[in-house]
Amino acid sequence: MTAFVRLLVYSGLPDPEWTLDDAELEAVAERMRRSLQGPPAEPPPPWLLGYRGFLVRVEPPAPNLPSRFDVFRGTLTVYDAGGPSTVRDDGGVEMFLLGDARRRGHITSPPANPTRGLSE
């Protein structure tokens, strides 16, 4: 199984994309399990410029991970056959991926309030 991560950050340029190794994939899967047990949430409004979160694709589909999901502003949206569903990212998937993107040199400083909820 391979997880492709895309950092949604550029406007007009290709967004950085990379794959997770086995340990990183397991860390994301554990955080996903915690987040998916959390309460439903409203998806964040569309963001036009700058940081817009992460899009993750898992191929081939795996029983322990959705095949496509995104994280942005403290929410996690899963896209499945029943349509998208959004929960709070209580497991910290977004923060883990921000750290991974930083380690890989895709970002040099964290976005301002990346996980700030809409109700704050």
Span 89-106, pLDDT tens digits: 999 999 999 999 999 999
User: How do residues 8-65 score in pLDDT, each as one tens digit?
Assistant: 988 778 999 999 999 999 999 999 999 999 899 998 887 777 889 999 999 988 777 8
Report helix, strand and coil shares of the chain as percent, to nearest 5: 20, 30, 50
Domain residues for the domain of 62 are 2-103
Within-domain flag for 111:
no
Within-domain flag for 30:
yes
Residues 6+ positions from 58 with CB-CB distance below 8 Å? 1, 2, 3, 4, 65, 66, 67, 68
Within-domain flag for 120:
no
Within-domain flag for 34:
yes
CA separation for the pair 83, 13 (Å, rounded): 29
